[in-house]
Amino acid sequence: MNVAAMLSAAAGYLQQHPEELIRVARNAVVRRVGVPLDALRWLVAELERAPRDVELTAVPPGLRLAATIDLMGNTVRASAVVYVEAVDATSESLRIALRLEDVSLDLLQAAQDSPVAMLLQSGALDLSRPGNLAAHIPKRPAVLVEAKDDRVVIDLMRHPKVASDRRVQGVVRIATSLMTVGGIETDWEHLDFVLRPFPGGVPSALAAVRSVL
Domain that holds residue 102: 51-212
Q: Is 147 part of any domain?
A: yes
Q: Is 191 part of any domain?
A: yes
Q: Is 163 part of any domain?
A: yes
pLDDT of residue 59: 96
Q: Is 162 part of any domain?
A: yes
Q: Report the distance separating Cα 132 and Cα 37, nearest Å.
A: 30
Q: What is the pLDDT of residues 72-110, one digit of tens each?
A: 899 999 999 999 999 998 878 899 999 999 999 999 999
Going by C-alpha positions, the residue among 78, 34, 74, 75 that lies closest to residue 58 is: 34
Q: Is 29 part of any domain?
A: no
Domain count, the chain: 1
User: Running along the chain, 213 residues long, what does each successive block of 10 average in pLDDT?
Assistant: 80 90 92 94 87 95 96 93 93 92 94 88 87 86 94 94 87 88 93 90 79 74
Q: What are phi and psi of 203, to 5 degrees?
A: -55, -40
How many residues are present in the chain? 213
Q: Residue 20 class from Cβ within 10 Å (0-12 exposed, 13-18 middle, 19+ buried)?
A: middle
CB atoms within 10 A of CB 150: 18
pLDDT of residue 1: 61
pTM over 0.85: yes
pLDDT of residue 172: 86
pLDDT of residue 57: 96
Q: Is 143 part of any domain?
A: yes
Q: Report the distance separating Cα 188 and Cα 59, nearest Å.
A: 7
Close Cβ partners of 115 (under 8 Å, ≥ 6 residues apart): none
pLDDT of residue 86: 93
Residue 173: left (phi > 0), alpha (psi -120 to 50), or beta? alpha
Q: Is 28 part of any domain?
A: no
Q: Is 100 part of any domain?
A: yes
